[in-house]
């Protein structure tokens, strides 16, 4: 498999998938997301791989969806737009959540909006000291949060409301303090520490690890995770039909992009 926007690194039973579009702060284009999903499917099926790391090349993990492409997808019918987001955003994110093997997000710099979304569906997050997280789209995009509303499950309901209503940045230390991030390490040590964590996971019985992940995720499902996420997706898509959102698109996303720069 050859990739243009991601890069694959194997070390023993660990596969690290690098988002490799650093000149665009690893913005998630349709092409990048397709490659990423193909890579996750391949990692899941590869019997040699026991743990996966999702990382980003350059100064930032990911600044989110590639907003340069947004007008392309919303210019079409509501039906096409729904299908696009259902596949590239929710289905591909749930693939990471449902992957049989543990997935670690290795985050430095920005993990904003769609960038936060793919980090937050990973099993664990290891962050560099300079990492920050934000989902500011109610402020910047007239949207009801990003497509996957996993926030209440990883940061608690009260904090999720603050994070989303204010669209504020949360630094690595704060994310660690509230339990959303597992570890914070010096930026220069991030890649090695993430690999050490993944290697440790890979030493466990792979089948037992698979069962353990399934049980832990089912405990979230029993608290409503999957239904809540699916329900939010429909609500989110309804938001894309509103005058407020359409006005942003008609404006060529200029207002949204300018507001986004203040966060990402
Ligand atoms: Zn959307």
Ligand 1 center to residue 85 CA distance, Å? 6
Nearest CA-CA partner of 238 in 144, 159, 118: 144
d(CA 198, CA 53): 7
Ligand 1 center to residue 179 CA distance, Å? 27
Which 3 state secondary structure label does DSSP give 59?
coil
Give the pLDDT score at 58: 98
Give the pLDDT score at 235: 96
What's 6-263's CATH class?
alpha beta
Nearest CA-CA partner of 26 in 54, 52, 57: 57
Q: Dihedral angle at the C-alpha atoms of 70, 262, 18, 15, nearest 10 degrees? A: -110
Which 3 state secondary structure label does DSSP give 57?
coil
Ligand 1 center to residue 211 CA distance, Å? 32
Ligand 1 center to residue 116 CA distance, Å? 14
Ligand 1 center to residue 39 CA distance, Å? 23
Ligand 1 center to residue 95 CA distance, Å? 18
Ligand 1 center to residue 125 CA distance, Å? 24
Ligand 1 center to residue 70 CA distance, Å? 9
Give the pLDDT score at 264: 59
* Continuous H helices in the chain: 30-45, 70-74, 78-85, 92-98, 114-120, 137-140, 151-155, 157-166, 172-177, 190-202, 206-222, 225-239, 243-250, 254-261
Nearest CA-CA partner of 125 in 166, 164, 96, 94: 96
Domain positions in the chain are: 6-263
Taking 90 as the threshold, does the pLDDT of residue 109 lie above it?
yes
Q: What percent of the chain clears pLDDT 70, i.e. is strictly above it? A: 97
If you ran DSSP here, which 8-state letter would residue 2 be given? -
Ligand 1 center to residue 235 CA distance, Å? 10
Give the pLDDT score at 68: 83
Q: What is the mean pLDDT of residues 64-90?
A: 86
263 pLDDT tier (thresholds 50, 70, 90)? low
Structure tokens at 126: 């290891």
Tens digits of residue pLDDT in 166-201? 999 999 999 999 999 999 999 999 999 999 999 999
Ligand 1 center to residue 12 CA distance, Å? 37
Taking 70 as the threshold, does the pLDDT of residue 260 lie above it?
no
Ligand 1 center to residue 208 CA distance, Å? 36
H or E element that contains 8: strand 6-11
Count of other CB atoms within 10 angstroms of residue 193:
18
Ligand 1 center to residue 75 CA distance, Å? 13
Tens digits of residue pLDDT in 4-63? 999 999 999 999 999 999 999 999 999 999 999 999 999 999 999 999 999 999 999 999
């Amino acid at each position: 498999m050859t990739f243009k926007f991601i890069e694959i690194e194997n070390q023993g039973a660990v596969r690290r998938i690098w988002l490799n579009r650093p000149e665009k702060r690893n913005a998630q284009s349709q092409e990048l997301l397709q490659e990423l999903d193909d890579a996750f499917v391949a990692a899941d099926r590869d019997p040699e791989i026991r743990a996966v790391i999702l990382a980003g090349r350059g100064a930032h993990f990911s600044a989110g969806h590639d907003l340069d492409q947004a007008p392309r997808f919303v210019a079409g019918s509501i039906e096409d737009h729904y299908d696009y987001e259902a596949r590239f955003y929710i289905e591909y994110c749930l693939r990471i959540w449902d992957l049989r093997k543990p997935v670690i997000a290795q985050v430095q710099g920005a993990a904003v909006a769609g960038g936060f979304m793919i980090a937050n569906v990973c099993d664990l997050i290891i962050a560099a000291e300079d990492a920050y997280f934000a989902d500011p789209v109610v402020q910047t995009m007239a949207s009801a949060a990003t497509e996957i509303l996993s926030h209440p499950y990883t940061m608690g309901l009260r904090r999720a409301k603050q994070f989303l209503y204010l669209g504020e940045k949360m630094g690595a230390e704060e994310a660690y303090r509230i339990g959303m991030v597992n570890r914070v390490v010096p930026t220069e040590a991030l890649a090695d520490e993430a690999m050490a964590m993944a290697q440790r996971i890979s030493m466990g019985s792979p089948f037992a690890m698979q069962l353990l992940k399934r049980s832990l995720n089912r405990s979230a499902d029993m608290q409503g995770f999957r239904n809540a996420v699916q329900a939010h997706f429909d609500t989110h898509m309804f938001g894309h039909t509103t005058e407020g959102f359409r006005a942003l698109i008609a404006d060529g996303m200029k207002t949204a992009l300018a507001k986004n720069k203040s966060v990402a």
